[in-house]
Amino acid sequence: MSWAKRGLVIPAPPPLGWAASHAALPTVLQQEDALRLYFSSRDAQGRSHIAAATVSPGAFDEAQFEEAPAIAPGPLGAFDDAGVTSACIVECEGRLYQYYSGWSLGVSVPFYFYVGCAISDDGGTTFRKVSSAPLLERDDVDPFLTASPWVLMENGIWRMWYVSGTGWELEQGRPKHRYHIKYAESTDGLRWRRTGQVCIDYRDPAEFAIARPCVLRDDGVYRMWFCARGDSYRLGYAESADGLVWERQDERAGLEPSADGWDSEMVAYPCVFDHVDTRYLLYNGNGYGETGIGCAVSEPDA
């Protein structure tokens, strides 16, 4: 599998009055004649909000941005008071569930992540948070953090692949996070059962962050794109027959940093989707979204 880059499609910061930097973690809601794109930008205080834009796959540069954030940080002391970052959208019986990561700041460690959810009954124009508490709080299975959920519905079961922290360690006197990807299930999309099933684990001792799973199922195969880092993020890829046991095939991810420019240092936060007869990849480059969102389209293997 390989990808042909189409360049930057969403600038950072986007043309929004409140956005001071970044356009990161894209996720897509497909509509009849357009795409509704959600992504995260930061305000002047560095807090991420989830923004929305309507785009055409053939004219990303003509995106129509909505001034008001789709989802904003929570009140002081809430699990998401330091920011919210987009993850995925699921449609069920006319209702949209937008899963996201909520940020809060720490003392002994710099930050905490938690999985949250907001619901829309008007086609994605407005969202209301389902709870003032996270869906995946820290527990014995996930004692450090949870984040970046990707959810599919299959035969009445909601299936989630999410980031789970495995600990912090001091490196040159500073806390360094470690997280990989686990699995959870639900019957309603809100109450989740976690068993500790690890889907994507560290490839070697130098790898410490495995982030932003994106899962599709086609031809009876589950395909996961994600990003993993030692020095900097690179695109990863894995396949599974059941969505539980995965084989990493990172050499097939098919997208590397460019020789120069906005994505020359890293490739991160993939969102893969099919529209009409084309498979698209939206992703971030340098600075975790500081340089904007780019697009690539799939090409047949040689």
The predicted-structure confidence for 107-131, as pLDDT tens digits, reads as follows 999 999 999 999 999 999 999 999 9
pLDDT at 21: 98
Q: Specify the pLDDT at position 59.
A: 77
Residue 37 has pLDDT above 50, yes or no: yes
Are 84 and 48 a contacting pair, CB within 8 Å? yes
Query: What is the overall mean pLDDT for the chain?
Result: 95
Secondary structure class of 11 (helix, strand, coil): coil
Nearest by Cα to 65 from 49, 53, 50, 51 = 53
d(CA 269, CA 288): 8
Higher pLDDT, 299 or 51: 51
pLDDT at residue 57 tops 80: no
**What average pLDDT does the segment 75-82 reach?**
97
The 3-class secondary structure across 253-294, one letter per residue, is CCCCCCCCCCCCCCCEEEEEEEECCEEEEEEECHHHCCCCEE
* Sequence-ordered strand ranges (E) for the chain: 2-10, 21-30, 35-42, 48-56, 59-65, 83-92, 95-105, 111-120, 128-129, 146-154, 157-171, 174-186, 192-200, 209-218, 221-229, 233-240, 246-248, 268-275, 278-284, 293-299
8 A C-beta contact, residue 301 and residue 286? no
Paired residues of 102 in beta bridges: 84, 114
**Cis, peptide link before residue 13, omega less than 30° from 0:** yes
φ, ψ dihedrals at 251, nearest 5°: -65, -15
What pTM was computed for the model?
0.96
Question: Is 302 a residue whose pLDDT tops 70?
Answer: no
Question: What pLDDT shows up at residue 276?
Answer: 85
Q: What does the block give as tokens for 68?
A: 């008001």
Inter-CA distances, 285 with 67, 102, 155, 171, 268, Å: 24, 22, 36, 25, 6
Residue 168 in this model has a pLDDT that exceeds 80: yes
Q: What integer is the mean pLDDT of 78-101?
A: 97
Q: Percentage of the chain with pLDDT > 70? A: 99
Tell me: pLDDT of 88 over 80: yes
DSSP code at position 136:
B
pLDDT of residue 301: 61
pLDDT bucket at 282, cuts 50 / 70 / 90 = very high
**Using an 8 Å Cβ cutoff, are 278 and 254 in contact?**
no
CATH code: domain 2-299 is 2.115.10.20
Domain residue limits, the chain: 2-299
Q: For the beta carbon of residue 127, count every other beta carbon within 10 angstroms.
A: 24
For residue 108, how many other CB atoms are within 10 A of its CB?
A: 6
What is the structure's pLDDT at 91? 96
Average confidence (pLDDT) over 231-253: 97
pLDDT value of residue 234: 97
Q: Are 183 and 173 in contact (CB under 8 A)?
A: no
pLDDT at 34: 87
Which residues contact residue 40 at a Cβ distance below 8 angstroms, ignoring those fewer than 6 apart?
22, 23, 24, 25, 48, 49, 50, 51, 83, 84, 85, 86, 289
Residue 80 gets which letter from DSSP? T
Note the pLDDT of residue 32: 77
C-beta contacts of 155-158 below 8 A and 24+ residues apart: 156/187, 157/185, 157/186, 157/187, 158/90, 158/185, 158/186, 158/187, 158/188, 158/189, 158/192
- The DSSP call for residue 252 is G
